Structure 1
């Protein structure tokens, strides 16, 4: 059933006054980017979209997808339409100023080194404190996990192979596949070293 909306517009220059570009976080740009790609979106829409895309390589608390759009709307980077009744869902759209901020961020050089937060790698650092069976189980578990993730990535790649409209969004998947293949090869090699042939 169609629900009436009321449009809530933010002041056009609040962004400059109340929220400097220095205060925008990666999550801010993640939200702006998803809305720029998808069009008007609710926080739930953003949660689903990130779970099927960005979430594979940029894990973050999804609760931020409920708080961050409101902050960006208050700053003039998004507008929000709220249902007059029912669930009173809020639908966010990017403003011209939000698009300008996003484009400026995309154009900035990246000076931070690549970061990988891998609990398995952290545990492996302390492997001298493990028994040999624990280390073998760690390697076996990682082989299983990376094999499953690789199959999932290839499934996504095949599903969207003929979709020209999302071809550029599939490019990060190539990096994900390459990194997962490298990780899988590492753990397979480690497992073989832990269980050398007699």
Structure 2
């Protein structure tokens, strides 16, 4: 069953499993504050997926009869089972990377001299900002929130990822004709 579910549908199941019943608007807010930084889900998708998951029996829908007529979605037993099945499978598809800076770097030799150093300096600065933002977010995690451990893991990975980019871009900015291989870490033999 889970092989037929899209990543955005799995996001919906996971968020409702973690946070309880939600409207599509609630899902939009939770995506923005959780997976949205590395797995963006279009808002329209968050309005299409819950009814589809309800048709599959993975969610149950309650619609208000009066007022705003909000649609609230609850995880069913089958939804819990589908989520458990997906989580139990350690395999994942290969990641996709669509990084405009890497695309530009691919063809940098066709540009004017000095552009590699400028690109590298700008990218190093951007990745330092992201790294520092992730560090700040990790420091501010609420230890009592239900997703603290998951968020701490992701932020730790994000910090390491951004630090790798910082090291690469800084090395390339210092030596634009080189490969971008960072020198030894300070204090290492």
**Alignment CA distance shift 1:116-1:158 (3 Å):** same
2-structure distance, mates of 1:157, 1:111: 26
Question: Structure 2 matches for 1:9-158, cutoff 5 A?
Answer: 20-158=1-139
> Over the residues paired in the alignment, what is the CA RMSD in angstroms?
2.1
For the 8 Å contact 1:28–1:72, the answer to whether it is kept is: yes
TM-superposition CA deviations, 1:44-101 (whole Å, max 9, x none): 1111111111112223323211111111011111111222233222111110100100
**Given the alignment, which residue of 146, 166, 171 partners 2:153?**
171
**Alignment CA distance shift 1:109-1:166 (3 Å):** closer
**Alignment CA distance shift 1:89-1:130 (3 Å):** farther
TM-superposition CA deviations, 1:3-38 (whole Å, max 9, x none): xxxxxxxxxxxxxxxxx5432111111110011001
2-structure distance, mates of 1:162, 1:138: 39
1-structure distance, mates of 2:153, 2:61: 31
Q: Which has the higher contact order (CA 8 A, sep 6+)?
A: 1
Please name the residue that 1:4 is paired with.
Answer: none
Shift of 1:163: 3.6
Unaligned runs of 5+ in 2: 179-189
Q: Which runs of 4+ in 1 moved over 6 A?
A: none
**Alignment CA distance shift 1:148-1:71 (3 Å):** same
Shift of 1:112: 3.1
